[in-house]
Amino acid sequence: MFDLPAEWQVALEAVGWIGSAIVVWSMMQQRILRLRLYNLIGCLIQVLYNGVLGVWPVVALNVVLAIVQVVNLTRLLRGRDDPASYAVVDVPADGALLGGLLGRHREDIARFQPGFTQASKDADAFVVLAGDELVGAVVVHDAGDGIAQIELDYVTEKYRDFSPGRFVFGRSGVLAERGYRAVVSAPDLVEPYYEQIGFRREGERYVLDLVTAS
């Protein structure tokens, strides 16, 4: 260690502990974007701390890990707007696939849509896939006049920062193909995100006009 004043040494030690804590905290994140971001911050702090101490092997390790996280973050953020990242599959509203997802994540669903219990029998249901992983579901019913009323819009925690529901409502075109001209959010939502993906607020709900095929 450089010959630093005592108070500087204490501050430096605190920086080292903070960096280590952030790295540990990053590994506890379920959301993959947050995991990558927090881990990058922790690695950069460790580069600073160990660089001052002159512990070059640890500096080199954390530089490499930081580069890996930057590459992964870039891929994730680019993939968030890439239609090839997700697939939207039409499924029966009372089928086993949707039922299994709802059963497995029922408590998490209730956190964000406490009013949802089960899909209507005549609802249109879709699941969202990222590769071979089931990451979410959207259920709507025909509210008349070309309006798709959302009953459920759920994304698993790991993919929640990527809002794959936007592909169901927009780029996939599945709702427009069914003759819907607009989508309306469900009531009693907790932490709605719809304005971030192009919906406009109308009173207590959010509305998105769909682009219909000519």
Q: How far apart, in whole angstroms, are the C-alpha atoms of residue 32 and residue 91?
A: 27
> Is the per-residue pLDDT at 214 higher than 50?
no
> Is the per-residue pLDDT at 161 higher than 70?
yes
pLDDT of 93-116, one tens digit each?
999 999 999 999 999 999 989 989
Would you list the DSSP string of 155-195?
E-GGGGGG-THHIIIIIT-HHHHTT--EEEPPSS-SS--GG
Contact 150, 140 (CB under 8 A): yes
CA distances from 145 to 175, 178, 194 (A): 14, 13, 21
Q: Record the pTM.
A: 0.74
Percent of the chain scoring above 90 in pLDDT: 54
Would you list the DSSP string of 22-57?
HHHHHTT-SSHHHHHHHHHHHHHHHHHHHHHHT-HH
The mean pLDDT value for 80-97 works out to 83
DSSP H or E run through 213: none
Q: Is 124 helix (H, G, I), strand (E, B) or coil?
A: strand
The mean pLDDT value for 161-179 works out to 82
Q: How high is the pLDDT of residue 139?
A: 95
